[in-house]
Structure 1
Amino acid sequence: MRCLVGSEWGAERKALKSIYTGLIRSVFDYGSIVFGSASETLLKKLDSIQYQALRLCTGAVRTTPTSAFLIEMGEMPLNLRRLQLKSNYWCNLKGHDGNHPCQDILKSSWEKEKKKLNSFGWEIENVIKDFGLSDINISQTVPLSTVYPSLFHNNVVDLTLLEKRKGENISDPYLVQSYLDSKYYGYVQVFTDASKNSNSSNGVIVCSDSSSSLYSLKNNHAISRPDLLLEIQLITYRIQAMGLLVIFTWIPSHIGIRGNELADKYAKQASKYSDIDILVPFSREEIKSIIKQKVKERWQRQWEEDRTGRWLYSIQRKVGAMRRTGQNRKEETVISRLRFGHTRLNSNLFKIGKHRTGSCDFCGQEETVKHVLLFCTKYSDYLLK
C-alpha cells in the first residue's frame, strides 16, 4: 500500500480500502473464531497492522487517534469484527440439525461452570444473550424438499406493470384494476392476505407489491429466504396438480386498489395481535442483519465514550460508512487531517518534540486547526474573502 501513495499523490482511498479489505482484512477474518481467544497482547499486533493500513488510506499523521481514522474509513475495530463473525457462525450452526459435528461446542458441559475461558464455545452464549437472540427461531440452513425439485413447474410471474412503472404513470388504480380484470378475467384475485371468493375460476392471480419476492419466484432462487421459496413452490405444485393455474403479478402499492388496501389493513391489524398463529422462523440473513446492527451499536457506544478523537466527534457523531470523497489524494489528505484535528501545525509538532512551544508564531496562541480557521489574525484577509 505504501508503494501506491505519497503525501501529495497516489490512489484514491476507496481503492486503497479495497486492497486492505481484500488482501489484509480477509487474512484477519480467516480462522478468527479460533484464534479470537488469544491474549490481548497478540491480538493487538493485528490491530497495529489495521491502523497502519487505514492511516495510509487517509493520509493521517502519526499523532492521529486510531478511533478517528476508523470512523473516517467506516471500518470497525477488529475486536468488534471478530465478535460479528463469531455471532454469524453461531447463526449458521443453529440453522443445522443436531447431527452437525460442530453443534457439540454449543452444548453445556461441567467445564463451563468451572472455567472462564474466552473461546467460542464458552463465550458465544453470553454474547447471544446480550443481543437478545437466545430464544429466537432460525430457519434451516439447507431446506429439503419432499418433492423432487425437477417436478416443480416454472412460476408464471407477470412484471408488465413493474416495467411500465419506469416509463409510464400507473398511479391510477382504475387502470391497474382494468389491466387485472381484462387480462385475468375469471381468475380469483388474491392480494397478499386478502382474497375475493368466486364459485368458479380459471385460476388464481396473486397480486403483490414486493418486486424482490416476485423476482425470487421467477428465478427460483432466493438468498435471504430459501425456505419460504421452497414452501411456496410446494404449495403451487399441489395447486397446479389439481388443474388450477397460479400466476403472480406485481402491482403498485398505496394507490387505492381495493384488494391491496384490504391486505394492508389486515396486515396492520395482525401485527397488533399478542398471539401468533403461525410461527415463521427467522432466516440466517435476517439474524445476521440483527447481529450487524447490534455490533454497530456497540461501536457507536465506544465512539461516544472514547476520550480521544473528540475533534472529529464534534463533526461526525455517527459510525458507519466511509465518508464520500471526490478530490485527489492531496486534497483528501488535507481534508482528513483538518477533520481529525491532527496536522503539521505547531500544536501537533510540539507533541512529537518538533516545536518548542506549540504556539502560533504570529499571535502567540496555541496553533490548532480551530485557531487557524477561526481566530488567527494572520489569516483574517482570507476569512474576509
Structure 2
Amino acid sequence: MLQSISSNPFRSKSKFPIIFEIKGALYRCFCQGLNLKLAWLPSHSGIRDNEFVDSLAKQASTSGTLMHHITYTHDLISLAKIHQMADWNSLWKKTQKSIGKYYAELQPDIPSKPWFFKFRNGSKHSTSVICRIRLGHTCTPVFLAKLRIKDSSICECGLDEGTIDHKFFNCPNLSVSLYDYLPNNIPRPVNLKSLLNLVFTPFVQTLLDFISINNIKL
C-alpha cells in the first residue's frame, strides 16, 4: 500500500481508485497544514492500537456485511482469471481427443506460465526450436515428406525413417548421440517425448547444446 501511494499512479499499470482517494485526502491534509507520516507496522508488534485494528479487520472478514458500496474492477480481475483458466483447461481436455494429440501428451494441462518463462537468457531462435519440437513440426524427413516437400521420409543416412528420435539418438551422422550426452541423473531408457517434459527445468539448455554440437537443422 505504501509503495502504491508513493508511486506515480499515472505511470502504473494498476490504477486503483482507492489510491487516488488516499492521495486526495493526503493533499487536503497538506493544504490544511497537517503534517502526516505514513509507516508500515508489522502485525502482532505489541502496539495496542495496531492490535485493535487487526482484530476489527478479522471480525469484518467473518461477520461484516455482504453489501458493498463500491466494487472496483481490480477486485474482479482475479476472479475472471480463475474462470478463464478453468474454461481454457476444459476446452483443452475436449479438443485434445481429436486434434493435437502429440502435443497434448506433452502438455496435458494449461500451465499458469509458459515453459520458457524461466528461460530468460534463451534466444528467440532457441525458444522457437524447442516449441517446434514440442509441436512435432520440425524439418525432419518424415515431417517434410508428410507435407510433400520431400519425396522420401528416409533419413539422409539411408538406414531408417527420418524421425526426430532417429535424428537425436540413432543416426550415424551424429557427432554424439543424445543417449551419451544426457546427464547421469536422467534414468534410462528414454525417448525424446519423455525428455520434452523436462523443458520446465534447466535441462532445456542441455538439449539446445546437443542440437548445436551436432548442427541439427530443425
TM-score in terms of structure 2 length: 0.53
| C-alpha distance in 2 between matches for 1:336 and 1:223 | 35
- Which amino acid letter does the alignment assign opposite residue 364 of structure 1? D
Structure 2 unaligned blocks of 5 or more? 182-218
Q: Which residue of 2 aligns with 1:284?
A: 73
Specify which of 149, 159, 170 is matched with residue 376 of structure 1: 170
**2:89 aligned with 1:300:** yes
* % identical equivalent positions: 19
| C-alpha distance in 2 between matches for 1:331 and 1:217 | 37
- Which amino acid letter does the alignment assign opposite residue 225 of structure 1? P
Specify which of 37, 40, 60 is matched with residue 270 of structure 1: 60
Question: How far did 1:216 drift?
Answer: 6.9
| C-alpha distance in 2 between matches for 1:264 and 1:257 | 11
Specify which of 32, 36, 42 is matched with residue 253 of structure 1: 42
Aligned length: 169
Structure 1 unaligned blocks of 5 or more? 1-209
Are 2:102 and 2:136, in contact at CA under 8 Å, matched by a contact in 1?
yes
Matches within 5 A, 1:110-125: none
Q: Secondary structure at the match of 1:250?
A: coil
Post-superposition Cα deviations, 1:256-297, rounded to whole Å, max 9, x if no partner, equal 343445533442343122x51762421123334533443344
C-alpha spacing 1:376/1:248, structure 2 compared with 1 (3 Å): same
| C-alpha distance in 2 between matches for 1:380 and 1:314 | 30
| C-alpha distance in 2 between matches for 1:351 and 1:342 | 11
Q: Which residue of 2 aligns with 1:107?
A: none
| C-alpha distance in 1 between matches for 2:35 and 2:105 | 57
**2:5 aligned with 1:211:** no
Q: Which residue of 1 aligns with 2:160?
A: 364
Question: How far did 1:343 drift?
Answer: 0.2
| C-alpha distance in 1 between matches for 2:9 and 2:147 | 63
Matches within 5 A, 1:302-341: 302-307=91-96, 308-316=99-107, 317-319=109-111, 323-324=116-117, 325-341=120-136
Question: How far did 1:344 drift?
Answer: 0.9
| C-alpha distance in 2 between matches for 1:343 and 1:218 | 46
C-alpha spacing 1:263/1:299, structure 2 compared with 1 (3 Å): same
| C-alpha distance in 1 between matches for 2:176 and 2:27 | 75
C-alpha spacing 1:318/1:229, structure 2 compared with 1 (3 Å): same
Post-superposition Cα deviations, 1:40-79, rounded to whole Å, max 9, x if no partner, equal xxxxxxxxxxxxxxxxxxxxxxxxxxxxxxxxxxxxxxxx
Q: Secondary structure at the match of 2:15?
A: coil
Higher relative contact order (CA 8 A, sep 6+): 1
Are 2:9 and 2:15, in contact at CA under 8 Å, matched by a contact in 1?
no
TM-score in terms of structure 1 length: 0.34
Question: How far did 1:298 drift?
Answer: 2.7
Post-superposition Cα deviations, 1:163-183, rounded to whole Å, max 9, x if no partner, equal xxxxxxxxxxxxxxxxxxxxx
C-alpha spacing 1:306/1:260, structure 2 compared with 1 (3 Å): farther
Q: Which residue of 1 aligns with 2:212?
A: none
Post-superposition Cα deviations, 1:150-170, rounded to whole Å, max 9, x if no partner, equal xxxxxxxxxxxxxxxxxxxxx
